[in-house]
Amino acid sequence: MRSIRHRAAIAAAVTACSLLASYAVSLSPTAAQAPAKADAKKQTKAKGKRPAPPATPAPPALAIDRMRVQKGFKVELVYTVPRETQGSWVSLTIDPKGRLIASDQYGKLFRITPAPVGQDASATKVEALSVEIGEAQGLLWAFDSLYVVVNSGGKFPSGLYRARDTDGDDQLDKVELLRSLKGGGEHGPHAVVLSPDGKSLHIVAGNATAVPDLAGSLVPKVWGEDNLLPRMTDGRGFMADEKAPGGYVCKVDPDGKAFELRSMGYRNPYDIAFNRYGDLFTYDADMEWDVNTPWYRPTRVCDVASGSDFGYRNGAGKWPTYYFDSLPPAANVGPGSPTGIGFGYGAKFPAKYQDALFISDWSYGKLYAVHLKPKGASYTGEVEEFVTGAPLPLTDLVVHPVDGSLYFAIGGRRTTSSLYRVVYAGDESTAPSAASDEGASARAERRKLEAFHGHKDAAAVETAWPYLSNPDRFLRYAARVAIEFQDVATWKQRALAETNPQAALEALLALTQVTETDPAHRAAGAAGPDLATRDQILQALDKLDWKSLTATQKLDLVRVYQVLLNRTGKPDSEITTKLLAKFEPLYPSPSRDLTVELLNVLVFLGSKEVAAKTVPLLANAPTQEEQIDIARALRVLQVGWTPELRKAYFSWFPKASGYKGGASFGGFLTKIKNDAVATLSDAEKAELKSIIEAKGTGQVKAVVAPARPVVKEWTLDELVPIAEAGLKTKRDFDKGRNLFAAAQCFACHRFDNEGGSVGPDLTGASGRFSSRDLLESIIVPSKVISDQYAAIVVSTTDGRVVTGRVVNLNNDGMMINTNMLDPDAQVTVDRKSIEEVKPSPISMMPVGLLNTLQKEEILDLLAYLLSRGDRENPMFK
């Protein structure tokens, strides 16, 4: 009876809302914190000082039959860790004798001799190492030493350590602290890996870890927040004092003395891995409290390029991926809690999986295989679920060089820890895979440019300059960084005189970032060019013909203006007037992204026209992300308001109170409102008092278009030939986007960096699916349900039935989100009370989504989905 009532209640909610809440819950990871994610309250007060949770008796390990694995593979249990004596394992490595070494998150190191493949786990031998070191979130055997990155849980100070066997008795007996690292907790220092040259190490740290004293930097030391409007920190104040560079990667010599900064702008990557071509990758964390805000960034696989900035900033300051002073990810994965990663080289797997990058998600119990394909000088990745389980809190993985298995550990936060391995039992060849020449030429060009990073070289400017106009974003970026390290006097005039639009944009951004501020200007708080150079840059920018620029170049141009104005301050009235005359006629733009970036510039400059143009956009924007972007910019505008515009603006806040997002969502809305109220006079506050103090209903709702009548019940056979014939040209991008909202797609799916996170990110759908595939998934959603987006049904011994998604674990508590529209709706289930866990057979996606659309509207919607957000796609010509 309880189960029937539960299902009926959910079905009723679906009918009422016409949303995707059927028998399922949100993937939103409001509380989904991996060992690499921090306790907010304690880290806000004192980073890295979180006490370890008390130990409790351990329940059994997750049974093998409760895991799903790719066809042809099987999982073997190698060892169940006794929690009382051996803790919860979060880091793995392999020593020269083929034994695994593991670390308890809050305790010692252990050495494991695994049972041979196919044999019972009882043959596995585990010994505690007597050496006084532990609490490691990074382990590596190299240079006849065990390198240990301690992320302090209390006993050992955070830092890079080296342990050695000095007397040859096969026991580590000497420990050296090579370098202290200021940072701890779950956003502290993490993994360490051997560099491809075999002569150095690389280490990765989360965004609560200060950059150590550097012997060098491949990243020009000119980074900043670079947000034009006033900084808006996390809605709950989490790590509000944290600024760039955020999380970072450093190259380190074997003695830990010389640290060289390689890359920055991450939130909290836990691990790094080199591919066979010498390229470094990481799996960076999202900020799950940002879910359903425009600045939410999903977990992402990044090519850790030399000199790169991946744009992570605190709170609302995170950079969009289109900011060309940063680099885009190779793959967006979605909500999650990244932990250990590694390539499959050496595994006795089919070639496809030997070459895959395996990445672990702690909170959702996913071991993904990311298949990276060359894309210019970098890569793009296709993400595939490899092993899944609920709960399966993966912490680290390694490939064994002898038995060819992929070993992975689960545990962390004193949850039950176990060691498993994946072996291949299928019929495909497992012969070692071979390197490919695909992309080699472009990567070689990138290496040539990166060789100039970090130092002066007389040949750098001449070599790099032609690449500033290259179509490949990674090559342009590498070239700009190479130039930024050279004496400005050798290339300043060339930058100002450049006529190629793309090269000019790159060169003027470089000039903006590296030119020294004069002393008086610096004393006033600016950090950019002196005013004479600023004026020269403005003149050079003004020469670029707006109409001849591509959509991407228009965004780049506005971005240069933003960085320049942010670093030099608001210009005098004469320049301000000229800039307003330039940008006001261009606003708003058909492009959602360009509209927001222009809005930021116009608000900064104090446009008297922008309020009247923008308040209607606030009312009509099809997504809550776009509305929030607009409201955030308008919050500091002080001119151009009328009483009617003020009233309309503040009337948005009660409506927005019903929108849902991550844990910081409400705090962000409060900050926006408080800043806006601060711009009012006392008389305006009195006049608007009733609206300002109005409370919303708090009911869960989405940004929706007016109800539409049913046109017909479309079938797959009807729509496929229509789509095949009608998607070549003359489609309408903006109609497609508005229909994506009208059909409720934004409620659960992300597309082009906006929308919900319940379903998959559809931005890259055209790379995986044909128009027929997309139509089938919409019309017959329950035909194939991805493990990644399916709900589970948990039955307990006391008669409870909970349907939802596991979003967090702590000791024996399994937290399940039960409402896809409310990331904070969570139920905690004691794992010892679980009687049964099974997947829900019903898709989270409802049927009939296309039945309110006309034929031409369906074609516009499909074109939008297949465009990857590119309004210049030939389908729209």
Which tens digits make up the pLDDT trace of 576-630?
999 999 999 999 999 999 999 999 999 999 999 999 999 999 998 988 999 999 9
Q: Does residue 822 register a pLDDT over 70?
A: no
Q: Give residue for tokens 């593991």.
A: 102
Q: 3-state DSSP call for residue 70?
A: coil
Phi and psi (nearest 5°) for 145?
-145, 155
With bands split at pLDDT 50, 70 and 90, how would you rate the model's confidence at 861? confident
Helices (H), 27-181: 40-45, 83-86
Q: Are 28 and 663 in contact (CB under 8 A)?
A: no
pLDDT at 439 over 80: yes
Q: How many CB atoms lie within 10 A of CB 365?
A: 24
Please state which of the ranges 368-372, 634-638, 700-704 shows the lowest mean pLDDT. 700-704
- For residue 434, give the amino acid letter: A
**% the chain with pLDDT above 70:** 85
pLDDT over 90 for what percent of the chain? Answer: 66
Q: DSSP strand E in 676-760: where? A: 750-751, 754-755
Q: What is the pLDDT of residues 46-88, one digit of tens each?
A: 333 344 554 444 445 678 888 999 999 999 999 999 999 999 9
Number of other residues whose CB lies within 10 A of the CB of residue 91: 34
CB atoms < 10 A from the CB of 295, how many? 20
Q: What is the pLDDT of residue 57?
A: 44
Q: Phi-psi region for residue 873, left (φ > 0), alpha (ψ -120 to 50) or beta? A: beta
**Is residue 137 a contact partner of residue 104, using CB atoms and an 8 Å limit?**
no
Instruction: Compute and round to an integer the Cα radius of gyration of the chain.
Output: 27
835 is written with which tokens?
A: 């009687």
Region of residue 872 (phi > 0: left; psi between -120 and 50: alpha; otherwise: beta): alpha
pTM comes to 0.84
Give the distance, in angstroms, between the CA of residue 106 and the centroid of all CA atoms in the same chain. Answer: 27
For the stretch 626-645, pLDDT in tens is: 999 999 999 999 999 999 99
Taking the C-alpha atoms of residue 479 and residue 460, their distance in angstroms, rounded to an integer, is 9
Measured distance CA(742)–CA(623) in Å, rounded: 10
Mean pLDDT along residues 527-536: 89
The whole-angstrom separation of Cα 877 and Cα 859 is 14
Give me the pLDDT at residue 434, please: 96
Q: And the tokens for 128?
A: 């505690």
Say if residues 60 and 253 touch (Cβ distance below 8 Å): no
Q: How far apart are CA 475 and CA 447, in angstroms?
A: 9
Mean of the per-residue pLDDT values of the chain: 87
Residue 680's CB is within 10 A of a number of other CB atoms, namely 17
Whether pLDDT at 788 is above 70? no
